[in-house]
Structure 1
Amino acid sequence: MANILQIVKEIRKSLSNFDILKGMELSDNEAKTRMYLVEPFFECLRFNRGFENSNLVPEFDADFANLKGKKVDYAILFRNKPEIIVEVKKCNVKLNNKHLAQLNEYFNNTNDSKIGILTNGIQYEFYCRNNNAGFSLHPTPFYVFDWDNIDGSQLEKLAEFYATSIDTKNIIESAQETFFMEGFEEALFKELASPSRDFVKAIFSHMNGSRLTENIEKQITELINSVSLKSALDRLIIKESTNANSGVITTEDELKVFHVIKTILAQHKQIDTNSIGYKDFKGKFSIIIDDNQKKKVCDLYITHTSHKIEIDGEKIDIPDIDSIVKLKKRLIDKAISII
């Protein structure tokens, strides 16, 4: 089986050979959008259209209760089961919640479906089931491919859907983990922005307090702010760095490179210094904007023997500060493109 880099290379080659502008020009209705844009896109992923001995099946049955004759534009079959369904709209029509609701109906009535794709031939929105809403799709796509904004990280994600190596179970598990993490971070932000009495009580108990009065509650609430949280965060980073059991160790070298890049980005007036942050993972250190992993500027791969940075899928050696400074334009351009 081909590895991810081989697949990315093959997809990049296939997409570069496709005349997207000509396809858009010809796609003046939904049927032509399917013919000139959607089907060639899935052919790049090695899904072949047809009614027999194929895995991209057009006009797949998706009846609603007593309403017969309802068909979703395409189903992608695995072991003869439609695990992915695709709803197509006319080229250049802006995809909206009404279109998503239609895809959701098809999804609910196609029992074996695991992933739903909504597209206008230019933008492809990939959805999975919402674990908090029964059988419905999650209202937010877990991945979006856009012809107007193709970069290395986007192609790496697209490569997961390559016909010869796709694993829908792993894709969905990864998407659900992302949604869970985003939900957690949003909930944590809301709690810190407007602390509940239970949260204040928990802090007071760690202060060895015995009786939480109204005045003490007000004092603690006022102390929960960006300054105190930054102080606590710095201590937490140090604690995690010295705790091998945490599984993720933020090193001094990683922080040093982060601060160099943050300084470079902060020089541009369009980039808010306070929006520049990072997330540390096992094996890589991501520099992000607005605490949003989808707004990634670059990844760092820092070890005792090697210092590398990855921008748009390209890994570059950064043995010293000068080598980072030389990447100033690329780093700023990348940051501006995602803010």
Structure 2
Amino acid sequence: MEIRERAQALALKIRKHKASIETEEATKNAFVMPFISTVLGYDVFNPAEVIPEFTADVGTKKGEKIDYAIAHDGQVQVLVEVKKINDPLRIEHASQLFRYFAVTNARIAILTNGEVYEFYTDLDAPNRMDSKPFLVLDFSDIDDTLLPELAKLTKESFDLPSVISAAGELKYIGQLKRVLAAQFKQPEDEWVKFLTTRVYEGSFTQRVRDQFLPLVDKAARQFLNEQVNDRLKNALGDPDVYVGVSGSAAEPAANESSQPGADSAQKAADGAAEVFTTEAEIEGYRIVRAIVCSEVPAARVVARDTKTYFGVLLDDNNRKPIARLWFNRSKWYLGVFDENKVETRLPITAVEDIYAHADQLRDTVSRYLDKPNVVEPVHASTVRLVAT
């Protein structure tokens, strides 16, 4: 199993169980030990590889312990300090890591709450742990670009010199990405001024600032929209997919509004900003589409994400729901529909469980195909066809 698959499996476990974890010890057992064993590949029950409650006396500090020390080739290489799940990580939490880093051979220190892992080394001064991490891995939203670097710390591919060599670049790239993310979310005046003066020749007054602030925000949303759209088109293999600015996948509303305009486009962008489409939802969409392709062409099965669920529709028609993926919660559900379009939520534990309900999904699509168009009177002189 590749490191990406191992990381995604742990991410799924964290999502399912984090709400029930209330203590630091439970965080260790439920998430950190699986990270060390499943993702990094070390035997947590072999004291030659993983040392729990690692002790190394530091000056006048006697008997202090680090939660875990990871050894490779007989030398302690990585120190791990654990905090309770959902507790925000602060540098103040790393005081023991700072002290131990100076008196052991370890070049890597990890501060984690079981979901977010901050990796530190000694770029600024030899044998002194930096105050800022060079890599931050968040299992609620895994950045795939970081996984090759994480792989260098695994038992089978341990390559500390390469990690240290890349740490300086990773540190600043990570910080820059977080700064950019903050500016896209809520532009600061300096950011607005920087962009405005590139396109506006007049003085940057308060009036100009007020005029350009919403324009910068809108331009940023549209730019992200286009970038994510291209990425998810490739991921879904569908050239017609529309993607919201935060990564929501949806089809163009062909059966709703046929007259696009500035207002509707802005509403779509604003709504999409509050929607986030996960890889699990994309995978679930692919599975549903693959199942019902026995009944209809794949192009007719479209995705539309919302704040609360990820919908799969026939012909992008809200009146023809095929399934709903309720994945924005600790417990997952697959929503299926009966002949009256009444939804039943079926609990699932993994995306692959959707296959167990393949017959229901096919039956739903078949019912829509079996219903003919009916005539609905509008007034005495005209009628229109309505698809039921």
- Counterpart check, 1:128 vs 2:107: no
Give 1:202's aligned residue: 197
Q: Contact 1:200–1:221 (CA<8 Å) still a contact in 2? A: no
Give 2:207's aligned residue: 219
Deviation (angstroms), 1:180: 2.6
Give 2:270's aligned residue: 274
Q: Which has the larger radius of gyration?
A: 2
Q: Distance in 1 between matches of 2:225 and 2:231?
A: 10
1:101 to 94, 106, 112: 94
Give 1:182's aligned residue: 178
Deviation (angstroms), 1:70: 3.3
TM-score by structure 1 length? 0.51
2:218 to 212, 230, 233: 230
Cα deviations across residues 41-95 of structure 1 (Å, max 9, x unaligned)? 644454224786x221234344444435433232112344433212356x88967
Aligned-partner residue type, residue 82 of structure 1? V
Q: Contact 2:192–2:212 (CA<8 Å) still a contact in 1? A: no
Q: Contact 1:59–1:73 (CA<8 Å) still a contact in 2? A: yes
Closer, same or farther: CA 40–208 of 1 in aligned 2, 3 Å:
closer
Q: Distance in 2 between matches of 1:33 and 1:165?
A: 26
Give 2:77's aligned residue: 83
Q: Contact 2:53–2:65 (CA<8 Å) still a contact in 1? A: yes
Closer, same or farther: CA 84–315 of 1 in aligned 2, 3 Å:
farther
Give 1:320's aligned residue: 299
Cα deviations across residues 165-206 of structure 1 (Å, max 9, x unaligned)? 46665696667634430123324656x443579638724xx4
Q: Distance in 1 between matches of 2:250 and 2:232?
A: 20
SS at match of 1:126: strand
Q: Contact 1:104–1:136 (CA<8 Å) still a contact in 2? A: no
- Counterpart check, 1:257 vs 2:242: yes
Q: Contact 1:72–1:106 (CA<8 Å) still a contact in 2? A: no
Q: Contact 1:200–1:220 (CA<8 Å) still a contact in 2? A: no
SS at match of 1:163: coil
Query: Which consecutive unaligned segments of at least 5 residues does structure 1 have?
Result: 242-246, 265-271, 278-288, 301-308
Q: Contact 1:127–1:137 (CA<8 Å) still a contact in 2? A: no
Cα deviations across residues 254-295 of structure 1 (Å, max 9, x unaligned)? 57432683479xxxxxxx972525xxxxxxxxxxx57xxxx5
SS at match of 2:207: helix
Closer, same or farther: CA 275–111 of 1 in aligned 2, 3 Å:
farther
Closer, same or farther: CA 337–48 of 1 in aligned 2, 3 Å:
closer
Closer, same or farther: CA 48–76 of 1 in aligned 2, 3 Å:
same
Give 2:308's aligned residue: none
Give 1:282's aligned residue: none
Q: Distance in 2 between matches of 1:143 and 1:58?
A: 22
Q: Contact 2:76–2:106 (CA<8 Å) still a contact in 1? A: yes
- The percent identity for this pair of structures is 15
Aligned-partner residue type, residue 185 of structure 1? A
Give 1:286's aligned residue: none
Give 1:281's aligned residue: none
Aligned-partner residue type, residue 163 of structure 1? K
Deviation (angstroms), 1:223: 1.6
Deviation (angstroms), 1:224: 0.9
Q: State the aligned residue count.
A: 268
Give 1:310's aligned residue: 283
CA RMSD of the aligned region, Å?
5.8
- Counterpart check, 1:334 vs 2:327: yes
Q: Distance in 1 between matches of 2:90 and 2:154?
A: 27
Q: Distance in 1 between matches of 2:4 and 2:195?
A: 49
Give 2:278's aligned residue: 297
Closer, same or farther: CA 70–79 of 1 in aligned 2, 3 Å:
same
Query: Which consecutive unaligned segments of at least 5 residues does structure 2 have?
Result: 253-267, 304-311, 314-321, 332-388
Cα deviations across residues 83-117 of structure 1 (Å, max 9, x unaligned)? 3212356x889676598234543464345332314
Q: Distance in 2 between matches of 1:328 and 1:132?
A: 50
Deviation (angstroms), 1:3: 3.6
Q: Distance in 2 between matches of 1:144 and 1:299?
A: 16
